[in-house]
Amino acid sequence: MDQVVKLASVAYLQPGRTVELVGQLLQLTLIRNPGAAFGMGSGATIVFSAFAVIATVACLAVALPRITQVWHAVALGLLLAGITGNLVDRITQPPSPFRGHVIDMFQLQYFGAIFNVADVCITAAAAMIIVGGFVADRRAATAEKEPVAEDAA
């Protein structure tokens, strides 16, 4: 989905020209981002590419075998979708492989960054992991407080 939205954005949007999608709340503004969030690290594109490759391998080799609940799988799927969506841009977009600029297009009113579907996936995965961690910690703490029933036999 990320790559389809990016292809459509490049085909139908003019760079730097804003199109209102939902009034001023959600707008489309096509940019090519060499850096990370908010354009930070624009000179370190190859570092972001290397990190994305390492993160993808870690997700597949370390996290995937440890999935124990459905929400783990959903969070990991979203994370992998986001990482690989932006990595595809870094590999295939100008100026050169592993130095390519990420295509961003969504702009929210009062939010400084312009982002894409892959960024939404990464953010949703991070939120799921944080909330899931708190819920798991709370359940573990509740389980520790409950008395253990003894066998009557």
Distance, in Å, from the CA atom of 41 to the CA atom of 33, rounded to the nearest integer, reads 10
Q: Please state at what angle helix 70-92 crosses helix 117-145, rounded to 10 degrees.
A: 150
Distance, in Å, from the CA atom of 98 to the CA atom of 135, rounded to the nearest integer, reads 38
**Of 39, 76, 78, 75, which is closest to residue 58 (Cα–Cα)?**
76
For residue 119, indicate whether it is catalytic: yes
Classify the C-alpha dihedral 6-81-74-127 as positive or negative: negative
| Catalytic member of 2, 89, 104, 137 | 104
For residue 137, indicate whether it is catalytic: no
| Catalytic member of 2, 89, 119, 151 | 119
Q: Are 41 and 48 in contact (CB under 8 A)?
A: yes
Catalytic residue annotation: 104, 119
